[in-house]
Amino acid sequence: MRTLLIVIASFSLLSPAVAQAPELNLMPVPAKLQRGSGQLAVDQLFTVVVTGGKDDRLNRGISRFLDNLSKQTGMALNQDAADADHATLVIRCKDSGRKVQEPGEDESYALEVTPTRATLTAANPLGVLHGLETFLQLVAPTPVGFAVPAVSIDDRPRFPWRGLLIDSCRHFMPMEVMKRNIDGMAALKLNVLHWHLSDDEGFRVESKQLPRLQELGSQGQYYTQAEIQEFLAYARDRGIRVMPEFEMPGHSRSILVAYPELGSRPGPYPPGRVESDAVALDVTGDKTYKFVDKLIGEMASLFPDAYMHIGGDEVDDKPWNSNPKIQEFIHAHRMKDNRDLQAYFNQRLERIVSRHKKIMVGWDEVLHPDLPKSVVVQSWRGQDSLAAAAKQGYRGLLSNGYYVDLIWPAARHYAVDPMSGAAAALTPEEARRILGGEACMWSEFVNEETIDSRIWPRLSAIAERLWSPQDVSDPMSMYQRMARVSAWLGWRGLTHESNYIPMLRRLAGSDDISALQNLADVVEPTKDYTRTEVWPQGKVKRVPLNRLADAARPESDVARIFSVLVDQYLAGTSQGSAVEAQIRGWLTEWQGNDAHLKPMMERSFLLDEDKPLSEDLSSLSSAGLAAMDAINKKQALPEAWRTEQLAIVDRSMKPRANLLLMVAPPIKKLLEAVPHQ
């Protein structure tokens, strides 16, 4: 916590102008906003009234809004409806919206706040829900009480499809996790949960038609249909569609564990992840299509959303290549290769999905000229692939660039625009086919304790990209607002901030975690898919996610700010000593940190692998201080010394214990700026 506080304090060093006239704390930034003068008081007499028809979803939304306002402010509030003349917030909602929420349904709202009253107008509850979240973000303490600044907002999303994929297969996510993430999504105006429900590692939905799926394919970890129905109502109440995904014909081991006769080779199939044994459905025989029809039929009635995702990605060649009958089938049907076979499967699958009144969605690989134009393509490959699909008449979603499990900084996701690259050159009609995007939270290396910290707060940057005008793109503004949003999400029960200290305490086996936190605050988990499982597995199925790489935040705020300050220092543009003092303060703290941390690391096996990082943090900090002294005095330092320090920098920029020491690159800059002998 300590360094985080220093970080935030140092924002004023970075942007004094912003500190003087703070931006409104809104994320995503509204389409249109005009500041008024004065503010509307929000006190315990706050009341809401709805004019127009009654709507249960709307009423529940208002009740949740009042609960959330009460939590944020610590004031008990009256839940009874007021009369229209005296209410603080008047809501005008034209109708109840579609029975099943649809992409493209009107989500716009207008919020008018004057010193005497707020008015929220929307076509349906979706717009009202968005407007209420905007209102909550605006509530802040002022010298005279809680208040909302006078403002006039006219807001609507840029894209109709703003999603998050959660993978409940690799690690099962209890309902509580799913619900709190729905709450977070609603807070950021996202509107689609893409629920990855079947994969090699598990089939996570109760099937009444095909009960072996959960009995044999789930290791006992699945959602009952009753739970799913309750969850779907929960999501709908919050303006969020739920699109299920059932992976075929690859990523289907859990199906084959239950029904081995559908596989491309004879069973049995051992459950769980088996890297060396890629599997696929045998898509040449009728029994597979009978199974698919039964499964899709049942799931189509369980999930009301108009879209159904069938996966379709990463079908390995091996299983089909090694079955002569399948190769014979390809030959007999004049197909070129396995890709043609998958297209054949997708055509038949699409007919099944259509017959059950759903629109089929699949990953990039499903794209094939023989597929009907109704199919929606989700691109993990990028804007060019998306643009190519749009040109062919397919609607598409961008996920490339939005994989939050890659542990990228928020600014990198934020810079990814669905309409950039080849997509920028599309005709207006083609461009409309790009429905939006989806962030993806694959769960190989997250569990219920860590998943929130891998989704939040970075997802808010993607949410803003998909909602706000394209020119809202300043990363500095984004980071400032994201810091506020991150804390604000805590009131919704998300654990991305609250689990940090307990996890560090577990690592330490102690409450005295100051030195450990100093280290944890400047490391980040390795990027992309480079994580290695360094512990022996033996009889153990799951590697525990209880290491520093699991506790560390995906993005080190301290390192990010430190790096900006070093740039200012080296450019000589910073206003005198404040920047230098802040840099030296950190370096001095880190320089002595390893001495404090070492005894703890000796006591806890969980920290053993992190010792080199701690040593290097202290060594590099000494080097950084020496470099600053030399730079200030315009003196050289011995080349041998500099070479030695740069070697430490180099090894710090490579993954160790699945971590990167994020202050190494700015310290490298300091070393390089020392005058040469």
Chain residues binding its own copies by CB under 8 A are: 1-2, 4-6, 8-9, 11, 44-45, 71-76, 140-146, 447, 449, 483-484, 486-487, 490-491, 498, 501-503, 505-514, 517, 539-542, 544-546, 550, 602-606, 608
What single-letter DSSP state applies at residue 281? Answer: B
How far apart (Å, rounded) are the C-alpha atoms in residues 356 and 239? 24
The residue among 55, 57, 106, 54 whose CA lies nearest residue 233 is: 57
Q: Which is nearer to its own copies, 11 or 345 (CB)?
A: 11
Q: How many CB atoms lie within 10 A of CB 357?
A: 10
Q: Provide, rounded to whole angstroms, the least separation between the CB of residue 559 and its own copies.
A: 18
Among residues 215, 227, 314, 444, the one annotated as catalytic is: 314
How far apart (Å, rounded) are the C-alpha atoms in residues 26 and 612? 41
Cis peptide preceding 268, ω within 30 of 0: yes
Q: Provide, rounded to whole angstroms, the least separation between the CB of residue 643 and its own copies.
A: 35
Q: Provide, rounded to whole angstroms, the least separation between the CB of residue 141 and its own copies.
A: 4
Q: Tell me how long the chain is.
A: 677
DSSP secondary structure string for all residues of 218-278: STT--B-HHHHHHHHHHHHHTT-EEEEEEEESSS-HHHHHH-GGGBSS-S---SS--TT--
Q: Which is nearer to its own copies, 83 or 286 (CB)?
A: 83
Tokens 């749009």 belong to 390
Q: Which is nearer to its own copies, 507 or 558 (CB)?
A: 507
Q: How many CB atoms lie within 10 A of CB 165?
A: 24
Bridge partners (DSSP) listed for residue 200: none
How far apart (Å, rounded) are the C-alpha atoms in residues 616 and 523? 12
Residue 136 contacts residue 69 (beta carbons within 8 Å) = yes
Q: Which is nearer to its own copies, 71 or 156 (CB)?
A: 71
Phi, psi values for residue 438, rounded to 5°: -140, 130
Q: Which is nearer to its own copies, 321 or 604 (CB)?
A: 604
Q: Which is nearer to its own copies, 501 or 673 (CB)?
A: 501
Q: Which is nearer to its own copies, 107 or 610 (CB)?
A: 610
Strands 118-122 and 140-142, bridge-based pairing? unpaired
Q: Provide, rounded to whole angstroms, the least separation between the CB of residue 195 and its own copies.
A: 22
Q: Which is nearer to its own copies, 52 or 174 (CB)?
A: 174
Which tokens is 96 given?
Answer: 């109840």
Tokens 């010298």 belong to 143
- 314 flagged as catalytic: yes
Q: Which is nearer to its own copies, 282 or 452 (CB)?
A: 452
How far apart (Å, rounded) are the C-alpha atoms in residues 462 and 460? 5
Q: Provide, rounded to whole angstroms, the least separation between the CB of residue 540 and its own copies.
A: 4
Q: Provide, rounded to whole angstroms, the least separation between the CB of residue 428 and its own copies.
A: 42
Q: At what angle do helices 577-591 and 611-633 cross, to 10 degrees?
A: 140
Give one word for 444, left, alpha or beta, with left for phi > 0 and alpha for psi -120 to 50. alpha
Q: Which is nearer to its own copies, 5 or 17 (CB)?
A: 5
Provide the sign of the torsion angle of the four alpha carbons 80, 487, 185, 152, taken in this order. Answer: positive
Tokens 């499990």 belong to 405
Q: Provide, rounded to whole angstroms, the least separation between the CB of residue 659 and its own copies.
A: 16
Q: Provide, rounded to whole angstroms, the least separation between the CB of residue 563 and its own copies.
A: 20
Q: Provide, rounded to whole angstroms, the least separation between the CB of residue 491 and its own copies.
A: 7
Residue 243 contacts residue 130 (beta carbons within 8 Å) = no
How far apart (Å, rounded) are the C-alpha atoms in residues 516 and 607? 9
Q: Provide, rounded to whole angstroms, the least separation between the CB of residue 605 and its own copies.
A: 5
The residue among 282, 369, 370, 365 whose CA lies nearest residue 329 is: 282
The residue among 105, 236, 97 whose CA lies nearest residue 179 is: 236
Q: Provide, rounded to whole angstroms, the least separation between the CB of residue 468 and its own copies.
A: 22
Provide the sign of the torsion angle of the four alpha carbons 27, 32, 37, 41, taken in this order. Answer: negative
Q: Which is nearer to its own copies, 317 or 602 (CB)?
A: 602
Cis peptide preceding 457, ω within 30 of 0: yes
Q: Provide, rounded to whole angstroms, the least separation between the CB of residue 554 and its own copies.
A: 18
Identify the helix (H) or strand (E) that includes residue 213: helix 212-217
Which tokens is 522 given?
Answer: 């400047």
Identify the helix (H) or strand (E) that includes residue 586: helix 577-591
DSSP secondary structure string for all residues of 139-165: -EEETTEEEEEEEEEEE--S-SEEEEE
**CA distances (Å), 443 to each of 92, 173, 201, 406, in order?**
41, 9, 11, 11
How far apart (Å, rounded) are the C-alpha atoms in residues 209 and 89? 49
The residue among 69, 44, 73, 65 whose CA lies nearest residue 141 is: 73
Q: Which is nearer to its own copies, 302 or 483 (CB)?
A: 483
Residues catalogued as catalytic: 314
